[in-house]
Structure formats: C-alpha cells, structure tokens
Structure 1
Amino acid sequence: MASSPRLRTGLRARREARTAPRWPVRLAAAVLAVLGLAVLLVPPLAQLDQQLVDLRSAGLPPSVEHPLGTDQVGRDVLLRSVYGLRVSFLVGLVAALVSMVIGGLVGLLSGSLGGMPDRLIMRSVDGLASVPHLLMGIFIVAMFSPSPVAVVVSVGVTHWVTAARIVRSEVLSLRSRPFVEAAISGGAGRLRVVRRHLLPHLAPHLLLATVLMIPHAIWHETALSFLGLGLPPHLASLGNMINDGQHSLLAGDWWSSLAPGVFILVPTLAVSVLAQHWRDRLTPRLRSELTL
C-alpha cells in the first residue's frame, strides 16, 4: 500500500533531522556554557570593580595581565565585557518575556474571537508593524531617563507584533483540529478550550519565540545604549562600551570596540543556532517543506 505524500514528507524530515550535522549545535551549546560560566564566576572571583579607573594603565594592548587590553581610562576590557554581557542578557531576557506576554495575549485573543474582532485586531497589528522598531524605541526611551526599565519597556512595546502573528496563526490552525472541534461540540466554553486545549499546544512555540527574541532584544538594547538613550553611562553595557571605544579608534586602540562587539555577536549567533535546531525538531515537516 503506497504511503501518502504527507507521511513521506514527515519521514523524510525526520531522516534529515537525524542525519544533519550536529557540530554547530554542540559548538553553540559549548560557547553558551563557557560564556555562562564566565558571567557567573568572573565577577565574584576577580574581586575587582569594573568601574575602577587607573590612568597609569590607560590604553594598554592585550597582554597576560589584561587579555583584552584596557580602555582609555585604564579599565579592564575583559572584565567590563563580562559585566556588560550579563547586563545586556538580563535586559534582553526580561524584554523578550514582556514582548512575548503582550504578543501572546493579543494573538490568542485575536485567534480565539475570529471574525470582525480578529480582522480589526490584526489590522491594528499591521499598522504598528509598519513603524520601524528602532525609531519607535527611540521615541519611547526619550520620554524616560536612561535606565534598564526604559529599555525593557521600549523593546517589549515594539517587538510584540511578531509574537502576536505567530500565536494567532497557531490558534487558527488548532481551531480546525478534530479535538478542538469535539470539545466545542461537547459544550466546552471558550475559556475552557483556551486553557485545556490551546495553551498546552502553544507553550512550546511561545517558548521558542521567546528564545528567538532574546538576540534581537540584545541588539536593540545595544543600539539604544550606543546612541546614549539606553542604559546609563556608568553601567557596564556592551553598547556603552562600543560608544566609549569609538573615541579610541583614532588612537589605534582597536580592542576597546572589538571586544564588546565580539561579546555581542558570538552569544547571539549561538542562541540563534540552538533556537533553529529546536525549531527543526519542533516542526520537522515545516523544515522539509522549506528545503524543497
């Protein structure tokens, strides 16, 4: 008996998932593990103030004592990069969670209601999505003094539209499933259907979308801090460090800007690789269709 095209697609996707090279995923996991240990252990073990100014050590190139050199006022670049990565990651994580909560609620409400309310909500979402995120973020943080709260509000308010679209599409797909139709036919109320049938299936997709949002939130925070609108200047942030380091480039101190740039690029790429692998495992059939 011949198998259906859908079954063959699913089997091919699972076979490709098993035979795909694993070294990028393992490398990404190892990089995140090393950076995580550095963020947790380096500040307590160093016993140094990342704001400590030592003009006698200003502008030193990378060496054994200072592996990534010092900045223009003698602060250790490696230590400040580790502090900055911790601050940027925490701000990005909280901002991604706020964005996902707002977008998840809007998408769930839109997909559950359907009809005219769904169209009105999604047209409003499309209108907000047409405004550049960075421009809207600058407008929001300009109303506050530079602080982590202002950055979290800025990213959360400007990035929830993507989450709303993802959740709405999943809700519309789930509403046509037999088990949801059976629950509705059996007299289950709307809240019960959402709580017992929709949310358990949406949870993995929401968690994956949150992980994918973290690198974007970190880039957004870095851009705002680089422009002087994000975190306060005295707080070690990767964006603040790049902003400070650009004044040293003319003097040849390239390490002051390169080190925080690497600390931004490497972990965000590692998170993206792991999230992509997770998405392939979560939706193998989608992966197979995209590679046709």
Structure 2
Amino acid sequence: MIRGFGAKKPLQPLLGLNGRQRALIVAALAALFVAAVELGGLLMSDEPISTHLELRNLAPSAGHLFGTDWLGRDMFTRTVKGLALSIRVGLTAAACSVVIAALLGFAAATLGRTADKIVSWLIDLFLSVPHLVTLILISFVFGGGLKGVVIGIAFTHWPSLARVIRAELLQLKSADYIQVSRRLGKSRLWIASRHMLPHILPQLLVGMLLLFPHAILHEAAITFLGLGLSPHQPAVGIILSESMRYLSTGMWWLAVFPGLSLLVTVRAFDRIGENLRGLLDPHRSHD
C-alpha cells in the first residue's frame, strides 16, 4: 500500500518526458529568449530612445511597456538594447576566458611539473582576490570603456575553469591510447590537438555558458559604479545607475523592469549551461 510513497516517478509519466528531453526543451526555450533579446536589440529603431520631453516620466502603459524616463525615452527599448549590448560583452569576455583557461590547462598538463606549478600558482593567486577588485583594476589599466571591461572580465574569470580543465587533462594523460601515442613518438602538440582537445570541447562549451552569468553581472556592476561602459551606451548598468536618483520621486519603473530583465537574462543563460551539462554528462542526464 505504501510502496512508492514519496517517490517522484509518477510525475514522469504525467509529463511524458524523460530527463534529457526536459533539459533539452528548457535549454531551447532559454536560448530562444536570449536570441530574441539580441535580435530585438539589433532591429529596434533608435528613435524611441531619443529625447521626447513631452513624454517624460510616464508610468508603464500599453504604449510604453516599461514607462519613460526623465527625457521621454522609452524604457522598454532602452532595456532591450542594453541587454543586447550586455549579452555581446558577456559572450565575448566569456569566450576569451575560456581560451585563457584552455591554454593554461593544456600548459599545466603537457609542459611538465614546472609549468604545472606556475599555472597552479596563478590560479590560486587570482582566486584569492575578489573578482570585482581585480576587474576594476584591469579595466582601469586598459582605459575603461568596452575594451577595458571585456579585457578585465576575460582576465578574471578563467581560474575556476582552468582548474577543472587542468584536472581533467592530468587524468586523461594516463589513458591507454595516449600512452600508446606517446610510445609511437607522437609529439605533445599532436597528442594535445588530436586526443585531448576533442575530449574537453564539451567542458569548454559548458564552461563558457556558465561563465556568462558572472561576466554580465560583473559588467553591470562596474558600469553601475561608473567604471565600465560609456554613459552614451545603452547598458543596463548605466540605466540602473541613472535611475537611482529618481526612485525617491516614485519612478520605480526606471529600476525595477531593467533589473528584472537583467536577472531573467542571466537566469536564462544559467539554465542553458546547467541543462547542457546535464545532456553531455551521462551520469547527470538520468537524474
């Protein structure tokens, strides 16, 4: 009578989907949302975000879904364009971080103990300092703006992934087929490119997707502090920074909708990464 009490299996027939199918659907929906935001930012006209003083300080309505600001600019258009810019910045920086992590992971695993010790020391060094502090310093050194933010994020978000790649490659070195290739006289570069790189490509892809939420949030944070993107660019951090002075006047929509949109976008990328990791990992895919 009580067999199966508390079990989650009866829910699965109701849904009609297994774990892999649900993960694939969720990842596809999240990717579709992100693509729609990016496409909307590219296709939307700049006219709604130009100055219209006769429309200033309007609350959210059917004509202006997110309201308007103190200059009459449509906040929905500003938010979508800001999210599209943040997505481009986050993806570029995350991709650069993945390249750095892969290069250092390969160096640690294939160039001997000295290289391994140097890479391990660099990983521990960067992990011991808060990301935001290092990011601000690197961004300032490279002149700030879009270039400084991308370089700063790229040089501060690689350590955790590099540690994972290093451990994976060190374990892979003891595999039989790699030992056979080494005895046959194959070079380290040949082994790394033909055997090791294809093995860790899924981890690199998932790592980039999981790095993106951190990248976009840190970009918004330093832009909010005035140390990131230019005020002339429609970044979400700039929108939130400018809205702070108007919250006391009751214009809550200037911060609430852009902030929630940023969180939804970050969560969408996080879901893509988590579900993709579940699809690529045979042990997690049956959970």
- Would the TM-score normalized by the shorter structure come out above 0.5? yes
Q: Which moved more, 1:234-243 or 1:261-270?
A: 261-270
In the TM superposition, residue 285 of structure 1 has moved relative to its aligned partner by: 2.6
In the TM superposition, residue 77 of structure 1 has moved relative to its aligned partner by: 0.5
Note the alpha carbon deviations across 1:259-286, whole angstroms, 9 max, x for none: 1111211121111112111111222336
The aligned amino acid for 1:20 is: G
Aligned residues of 1:50 and 1:83 also touching (Cα < 8 A) = no
In the TM superposition, residue 106 of structure 1 has moved relative to its aligned partner by: 0.7
In the TM superposition, residue 115 of structure 1 has moved relative to its aligned partner by: 2.4
Aligned residues of 2:57 and 2:72 also touching (Cα < 8 A) = yes
In the TM superposition, residue 142 of structure 1 has moved relative to its aligned partner by: 2.2
1:167 to 160, 165, 168: 165
Q: Do structure 1's residue 212 and structure 2's residue 192 form an aligned pair?
A: no
1:24 and 1:71 map into 2 onto residues whose CA distance is 39
Q: Within 5 Å, which residues of 2 pair with 1:53-64? A: 53-64=51-62
2:24 and 2:279 map into 1 onto residues whose CA distance is 12
Q: Within 5 Å, which residues of 2 pair with 1:142-153? A: 142-153=140-151
RMSD: 2.1
2:110 and 2:207 map into 1 onto residues whose CA distance is 20
Aligned residues of 2:138 and 2:152 also touching (Cα < 8 A) = yes
**Runs of 4+ with deviation above 4 angstroms:** 21-25
1:28 and 1:252 map into 2 onto residues whose CA distance is 37
Note the alpha carbon deviations across 1:53-101, whole angstroms, 9 max, x for none: 1222111110111011011221101000110011000011110111111
Q: Do structure 1's residue 30 and structure 2's residue 16 form an aligned pair?
A: no
In the TM superposition, residue 248 of structure 1 has moved relative to its aligned partner by: 1.4
Residue 38 of structure 2 corresponds to 39
Residue 255 of structure 1 corresponds to 253
In the TM superposition, residue 198 of structure 1 has moved relative to its aligned partner by: 0.6
Q: Within 5 Å, which residues of 2 pair with 1:46-195? A: 46-49=44-47, 51-195=49-193
Q: Which moved more, 1:181-190 or 1:62-71?
A: 181-190
Q: Gaps (5+ residues) in structure 1?
A: 1-17
Secondary structure of 1:248 counterpart: helix
Aligned residues of 2:23 and 2:278 also touching (Cα < 8 A) = no
Paired residue total: 271
Distance of aligned partners of 1:22 and 1:200 in 2 relative to their CA distance in 1, 3 Å threshold: closer
In the TM superposition, residue 237 of structure 1 has moved relative to its aligned partner by: 0.3
2:123 and 2:213 map into 1 onto residues whose CA distance is 22
In the TM superposition, residue 125 of structure 1 has moved relative to its aligned partner by: 1.7
Residue 19 of structure 2 corresponds to 20
The aligned amino acid for 2:104 is: V
Aligned residues of 1:167 and 1:202 also touching (Cα < 8 A) = yes
Q: Within 5 Å, which residues of 2 pair with 1:197-276? A: 197-276=195-274
Q: Which moved more, 1:84-93 or 1:113-122?
A: 113-122
2:111 and 2:285 map into 1 onto residues whose CA distance is 30
Distance of aligned partners of 1:32 and 1:283 in 2 relative to their CA distance in 1, 3 Å threshold: closer
Distance of aligned partners of 1:218 and 1:120 in 2 relative to their CA distance in 1, 3 Å threshold: same
Q: Gaps (5+ residues) in structure 2?
A: 1-16
Note the alpha carbon deviations across 1:240-273, whole angstroms, 9 max, x for none: 1111111111011111101111121112111111
1:121 and 1:48 map into 2 onto residues whose CA distance is 46
Aligned residues of 1:53 and 1:74 also touching (Cα < 8 A) = yes
1:28 and 1:191 map into 2 onto residues whose CA distance is 35
The aligned amino acid for 1:96 is: A
In the TM superposition, residue 36 of structure 1 has moved relative to its aligned partner by: 2.2
Distance of aligned partners of 1:91 and 1:43 in 2 relative to their CA distance in 1, 3 Å threshold: closer
The aligned amino acid for 1:276 is: E
In the TM superposition, residue 219 of structure 1 has moved relative to its aligned partner by: 0.5
The aligned amino acid for 2:82 is: G
Distance of aligned partners of 1:145 and 1:195 in 2 relative to their CA distance in 1, 3 Å threshold: closer
Compute the TM-score of the two structures, normalised by the length of structure 1.
Answer: 0.86
1:38 and 1:121 map into 2 onto residues whose CA distance is 38
Note the alpha carbon deviations across 1:99-119, whole angstroms, 9 max, x for none: 111111011100112423312
In the TM superposition, residue 47 of structure 1 has moved relative to its aligned partner by: 3.2
Distance of aligned partners of 1:197 and 1:113 in 2 relative to their CA distance in 1, 3 Å threshold: same
